[in-house]
Structure 1
Amino acid sequence: MIDPQAAPGGPEPLSDRLAEHLPRLRRYARALTGRQQSGDAYAVATLEALVAARDEVRRAPDPRVLLFRTFHDIWETTGQPADPDPDPDLPLPERRAQARLAALTPQTREALILHTIERFGFDEIGEIMGTDGAEARLRVQTAREEMADAVSGRVLIIEDEAIIAMDLESLVVEAGHEVTGIARTRAGAVKLGLRDKPDLILADIQLADNSSGLDAVHDILAQFGDIPVLFITAFPERLLTGERPEPAFLIAKPFDEEQVRTAISQALFFSSTATLEAESA
């Protein structure tokens, strides 16, 4: 437990200082690792480290920055390897992800996600990553340049609001990807997904006929297996509990263009689909 209660009138409990930020840490950790299980394991390790430093938590002027900084202290020493020639015994998707990671400047992808998805400012990123704001800005820019052409794919959009769907379609195409179709309902999404297998599914949760984007995705994955999925929802905390199978890639409504581009690039970065297999051959 990370919830030693403070005495009446005493310091704020640790749980109160950290709890509201935990879903964001889970989202960030999953985006870095590409998996719910490994991302959540890093989040747990971060909490364990903060329990041991509970006095620092209570004194911290911004517990959110402290939470992410503690995560990065762990990530820098035990984080995902970046091997240009990964172990051939590893699963193929992991080998590809490691090769792609090895081609990136170290700590730039982390800075990009912190800035565009988690909405940290450059000075905050500098504090989290043990540098300054100017270096953080440079890392973000470098990541944008290096990941712009890193990988592309075919995207199925599941979104019932026509204007949002059009915006997403434009963003996907402008980022160099192809849209295989746009669906407004579960049945429509499944039909499109099975007809033309996508490399990535970009899905809302609540659809036009009161059906669920989660169910639509489940139906498609039941046929094809491990296609990366990026969920867009007004309630991301409901999918960031760590209590059940949940998405690794998630952005919240309302979103901005940079959030969508970055989230798509991260999801495709760890993809194992046939189209991306051909591109990385």
Structure 2
Amino acid sequence: MNAVTQAELLRSLPPARRYARALTGSQTAGDGLVASALRGGLPPLPARLALYAGVTRLAPPPAPTPGGGASLSPRHRQLLLLTALEELSVADAATVVGVPLDVAETELAEARDALRRAAATEILVIEDEPIIAMDVRQLVEACGHRVVGVAASEAQAVRLAQQKRPRLILADVNLGAGGDGITAVNRIQRELKVPVIFVTAYPERLLTAEQVEPAFVISKPFEPLALAIATYQAVSSTVPLD
């Protein structure tokens, strides 16, 4: 264990859990990785980087990409998630995965190219703000995915999911007068086991460790690449059971 304080580790746990879940596609597996990293000892780095590095070291290899699409190597995924989802600099991401900066820069370029060629899927967007919904739709369609519906309310989301049977859901948490995105997803998943990415200005509602939590959480405002890599991870690391 390095010399970081317990308070520093506690502050670093939510982002480490988010990263671990995004790597594994599972709350349980991701949290298990964080726990194993803590038990196994962390490298002598600042708390947040040390936790990322501990998780990276223990992360299992990803499953094959469904549909035979372009595949990202484990390090490609790690570098993309660290820089796009966790917003680390390339230098810090290189430190976390244990490669020189020039190697990290080269592999990130390769990863972004592979991401553009990744397997596509059918997506339901749950978002009550029309402009944000349009932006999300344009982004995922630019990544090659097909949006099968855009729901602005809880009731509409449940109805569209039953009708369209999406393979991935992108959901806001706060739907204003239209209800709650978390409740909508819970209702949908009673019938349709499908991976979910929450795109929200309220990530703290989903990172409390007090309930079943999603594997993928992106904070608003988000970088397009962050949503693109989260979409790829959700499609390639989880298999819907409908």
Are the equivalent residues in 2 in contact too, given 1:231–1:251 (CA < 8 A)? yes
Is 1:111 paired with 2:111?
no
Are the equivalent residues in 2 in contact too, given 1:111–1:140 (CA < 8 A)? yes
1-structure distance, mates of 2:36, 2:68: 26
Letter in 1 for 2:60: Q
Aligned length in residues: 241
Deviates more, 1:235-244 or 1:126-135: 235-244
Match of 1:147 in 2: 115
Tell me the alpha carbon deviations over residues 27-57 of structure 1, each in whole angstroms, 9 at most, x when there is no partner.
Answer: 110111111101100011122234xx6xx76
Give 2:170's match in structure 1, choosing from 187, 198, 202. Answer: 202
- 3-state SS in 2 of match to 1:262: helix
Deviation at 1:65, TM superposition (A): 1.6
2-structure distance, mates of 1:100, 1:245: 31
2-structure distance, mates of 1:228, 1:80: 19
Is 1:234 paired with 2:201?
yes
Deviation at 1:99, TM superposition (A): 9.7
Letter in 2 for 1:215: T
Using structure 2 for the length normalisation, give the TM-score: 0.90
Letter in 2 for 1:139: E
Is 1:259 paired with 2:226?
yes
Letter in 2 for 1:114: L
Is 1:246 paired with 2:213?
yes
Are the equivalent residues in 1 in contact too, given 2:4–2:47 (CA < 8 A)? no
Unaligned runs of 5+ in 2: none
Match of 2:187 in 1: 219
2-structure distance, mates of 1:126, 1:97: 25
Deviation at 1:168, TM superposition (A): 0.5
Is 1:15 paired with 2:6?
yes
Letter in 2 for 1:149: R
Q: 1:50-89 maps to which residues of 2 (within 5 A)?
A: 50=41, 60=45, 62-73=46-57, 75=58, 79-81=59-61
- 3-state SS in 1 of match to 2:190: helix
Unaligned runs of 5+ in 1: 3-11, 83-93, 276-281
Deviation at 1:266, TM superposition (A): 0.9
Letter in 1 for 2:82: L
Structure label with greater radius of gyration: 1
1-structure distance, mates of 2:161, 2:29: 28
Match of 1:87 in 2: none
Are the equivalent residues in 2 in contact too, given 1:23–1:240 (CA < 8 A)? yes
- 3-state SS in 2 of match to 1:71: helix
Q: Which has the higher contact order (CA 8 A, sep 6+)?
A: 2
Are the equivalent residues in 1 in contact too, given 2:124–2:149 (CA < 8 A)? yes
Are the equivalent residues in 1 in contact too, given 2:23–2:30 (CA < 8 A)? yes
Match of 1:38 in 2: 29
Tell me the alpha carbon deviations over residues 176-213 of structure 1, each in whole angstroms, 9 at most, x when there is no partner.
Answer: 11111111110111111111111111000111315111
Are the equivalent residues in 2 in contact too, given 1:154–1:179 (CA < 8 A)? yes
1-structure distance, mates of 2:204, 2:103: 31
Are the equivalent residues in 2 in contact too, given 1:159–1:203 (CA < 8 A)? yes
- What's the Cα RMSD here? 2.6
Is 1:128 paired with 2:96?
yes
Are the equivalent residues in 1 in contact too, given 2:70–2:115 (CA < 8 A)? no
Match of 1:269 in 2: 236
Using the aligned pairs only, state the percent identity. Answer: 36
Are the equivalent residues in 2 in contact too, given 1:117–1:259 (CA < 8 A)? yes
Give 2:152's match in structure 1, choosing from 179, 184, 201. Answer: 184
